[in-house]
Every structure is written in C-alpha cells, then in structure tokens.
Structure 1
C-alpha cells in the first residue's frame, strides 16, 4: 500500500491545526478511501487523544504497531501522556514510523506542531501535500508568509502546499483578495467560525464524526478532495 501523506501545520500556535487534522482524517475515513492513520507529531503538547477522548500510552517513543483505533477505518498514533522534550526522540524514529505506516494505510494525516523542529521537517519531506492553516488576522498571515519563505529555503515544491483559513467570518475587516495576497496563493478552504467546533473538541467527538453536513465539515471537503 502506498499511502498519501498529508501534513497539517501552522506558522503560529493556536490556529487550529489539530482540529483541522482530526476532522480531515475523519472525513477521509468516512469516505471509504481506505484505512486512515492520524499521527500526533506534537510530542510536547499533543491534543489528538483529547479530541477523540482516547487513551494514549505513557511511552515517549511512537511506534507503528501501537496505533489506537478511533473508529471505522480510522486509527491514530497518539502523543505520549507523559509529554517531554521532542528533541529526545531521534529523527530516525519519526522517519521509520512514517515509512512503516505508509505500507499499512491508504492515507496518513500528520498533525504537526507550529515549532519547526527536526520531526516536522521529516514529516514535510515525506508529504505529498502540505496544508498550512492560518486565521484571518494580519499577524497570523505575516507569520504564514515567513513560513512560506522557510519552506522555499528548504526547497519544497509550492505545488504541494494548500492554505486553509480557519475561524473565518465575513466581517473581519480583511477582503478575500487581501487575505489571499497575504497568503501568497488562493485559499483552498475557508472554515467558518462556529461555536459548534469548540463544543465538539470539549466532548471528544470531532464535528465531522457527529455532524458531517455542518458548514465547517462541508467547507473541509474541498481540502479532502485534494487529498484523495
């Protein structure tokens, strides 16, 4: 099996990458596109276990054979419950993990932390698609621009990137064109701000699992089509 690998990342913490990654993985699994594995790559503050109300192991070294079943066709490599310094996890561990998962799943969705460390770089190198999550405020968009510069410096193909604007709303003071100019490319999806999203996080049930026709989930489908 040759998995399609998607890394979801943001230039700034708090943009909602875990929410996007979790709902993206659920949507792929619900679509019957083959088994999906969601990987929580944030070894210092991973949130995926909480979002699914799942139990993670205390072991600080992730392994492919300890995937947790989250639902039909959906599995996860969860961040350890005893969180620590990501620098203590050898780079080869993440590389070997992704390579192993690629033989077992049709899709791998990686929830990456905002900090650019060796594990994030490894994930980006393996990825067939890089989803950059931002929010529609100028500081976040400026940070996104710097992230583009960093990816360019590392030599990543811009055609692999997609920008997703999370917590978007119509009256935010920035026209669509201005946001897209700041994002340096057309926006792949505008995920609407909704109180239902934090409710889903707090109840441990991603919105795509309980209300797939919600406007947030419908907007996310455009991203899913690009990841199929």
Structure 2
C-alpha cells in the first residue's frame, strides 16, 4: 500500500516566535509547512503552495485575517479549504465574524501547539468522513433528500425540483454551516464552462425556498459572499 504524502499546512502568522514554534511542532508531527508573515504573502502562497489547511492569524500586516479568509472563500479553488484562525481573547467579536466568513475552527492565544494539532486532526477526520462516506440520504428536519431515487420529500410528500435546484439543495446539505459563495455554487452546479452571472444563483435559491418553505429560515444570505445552510438543531429528547 502506498504511503500517504504528508499534508501541507500554510501558516500565516506575523509574530516570529509563534510562527517558529508552530512550524517546528507541525514538522515534528510529520506535516509539510509553508510560512507567510503577512496577509498578502499568505494570499500569494495559497496559489503557489496549494495547502491542505491554513492556520490564519487575525491581526496581520498588509491584509488582515478576516479579509484573507473572505478572499479565499470567494475563490472556487480555495472555497472549501479548511481554515483554523488564531485569535486573542479580546478579539471575540472578530472571531465570530471569522466563523461567519467561513473559518472552520479557532484557537485562542496563548495556546499549546499540541492543542492546535489536536484541532487540526479532528478537522481532517471530519472532512475525510464527509468525502469517504457521502450518504445517499440527507435529512434536515422534516426534509429528506434521497439521492438514489432523485427525490425530495417534506413530511413524506414529494416536492418536484429541477436538476439545478436538486443540485443546489444537495450542495447545501453536504456543507451545513459553511459559507458557500455564489461563484462556488455556480461552478459546482452549473460548471466552469457556464458564462452566466452569479445572479443565477440568487434566482435559484429563491425558487428553492419558494418550493421548500422549510428552507426560508434555514438558508441565510451572508452579506457580499453567498449563502449558508444553518446547522440543524439537535432533536429534543422524547418525553416519557
């Protein structure tokens, strides 16, 4: 069996001591690392290095972490790239914005490299499960999507969808809680050869909500980016 190549991690951090510590620890754990000291360097490194995960500080020169996160989520090639943000406790509001922009997790300074690696491994495991165990059936509240039968039902009643609406809904259900930009949705559903505008996505989202009112509050618009399907609420325990 061929050995897996080590995962590549891009570290975007301007504090030299923290950057050096994280880099050394990750390499000790068997990861390949690239270090960028500014947001602009990090943006350039995304294209040249093609990392598997980004460790991104919030406070950066030239381009801050929030702006860099927003830009990478806006590119089809990096829209689903895992991002862990490094924040200070005083940056709670910025942390929330970072998660809204699509960061997958965050670690508060000061932190131990061991804790950071544990977060990384947990994130990779979650993403690997999504890739390896793609279900044929999705459930979201009373909504059920059966891929094998190409059928969507709400409370057992089928709702006919066009092929594009069906693909759009599947993409939302595959990535709950993730900000999906209009460009990413356009490329995923319509393909790279499609030359329409991103307004096409807005029209189809409205049609999808019209046909499936259960999504009216669940699919939310993220200003200047795209859309997000809210994480489903956990089911309440049954009363005896």
TM-score (norm: length of structure 2): 0.38
Q: Based on CA coordinates, which of the two structures has the bigger radius of gyration?
A: 2
- Which structure has more RCO (C-alpha within 8 Å, separation ≥ 6)? 1
